[in-house]
Amino acid sequence: MKKTAIVSVALAAALFAVSCQKENGEKFKADVSYGALPGKFSVSDTKKVNFSKGNLTYNVSTATWAFYEHQYDCATGYDSNLISLFTWGYGTWSTSPDSKNYQTGDFTDWGSQIGDGKTWRTLSKDEWTYLFNTRTVNGGTGKDKSYSLNITYGEKMGLVLYPDNYTGSVLSGTVEALPEGIVFLPAAGSRNGSNVNNVGHIGLYWPSTACDSDCAYRVHFVRDVVYPDLITYRNIGYSVRLVTECQ
């Protein structure tokens, strides 16, 4: 390999590494892993992921998909132009995601609409369950080890996920800033048609896992408890938080 080619490969690798460490507050660009938070989270015995910097959004007027600018961002009511509570599965309804239509066939990941279409993906039911209940953080598992509930950040109530290597204090109450690597999932509620409910009270997130042609699993958290594998109808709008795999 020529010297110039070696330098180009090294430079590309360095730029990729930097892009994985971008902080909240920077505008999203559609290139590899841009918008990923630095914390690493095990979702199985062999896979680790970084989370996107915010929940997924779809702008109807411009037909563009992006991440919210901040982790705590979420809709406080219905907005027909900016959708952030999606019915299950990216499918033929994508040009009008405010409708009640939903995907009935094989799952097509929302991540296929971001960046190169291959970098981002949705966690499965089993991966969410592993994230909450199986992985070890700071010498323990589960509540107040791998995650904490009832946290207010950016004036939004939600749940925090601690990265695998976290050794700091457990968070509680209202926090002004998050220690590096921590992920915040706002309790963004749900949408039924144009009715948005339970914002600030209940967090509802889609995994990629269906259970039949009408239903899929959901991640559901309230003030004191997380249910990573409840079943729900696919035509209800929930939040989507994407991940990208890392080493």
Confidence of residue 80 (pLDDT cuts 50, 70, 90): confident
| pLDDT mean over 214-221 | 94
Q: What is the pTM of this model?
A: 0.84
The Cα–Cα gap between 247 and 34 comes to 16
pLDDT beyond 70 at 99:
no
Q: Mean pLDDT across the chain, nearest whole number?
A: 84
Residue 22 predicted with pLDDT over 80: no
pLDDT confidence bin for 18, thresholds 50/70/90: very low
pLDDT of residue 19: 37
Q: Name all contacts of 196-201 with Cβ < 8 Å and 24+ positions apart.
A: 196/75, 196/76, 196/77, 196/78, 196/85, 196/237, 199/74, 199/75, 199/76, 199/77, 200/156, 200/157, 201/157
Q: Does residue 103 register a pLDDT over 80?
A: no
pLDDT band (50, 70, 90) for residue 218: very high
The owner of tokens 């369950």 is 129
Residue 150: partners with Cβ closer than 8 Å, 6 or more residues away: 157, 172, 173, 223, 224
162 closest CA partner among 152, 176, 149, 174:
149
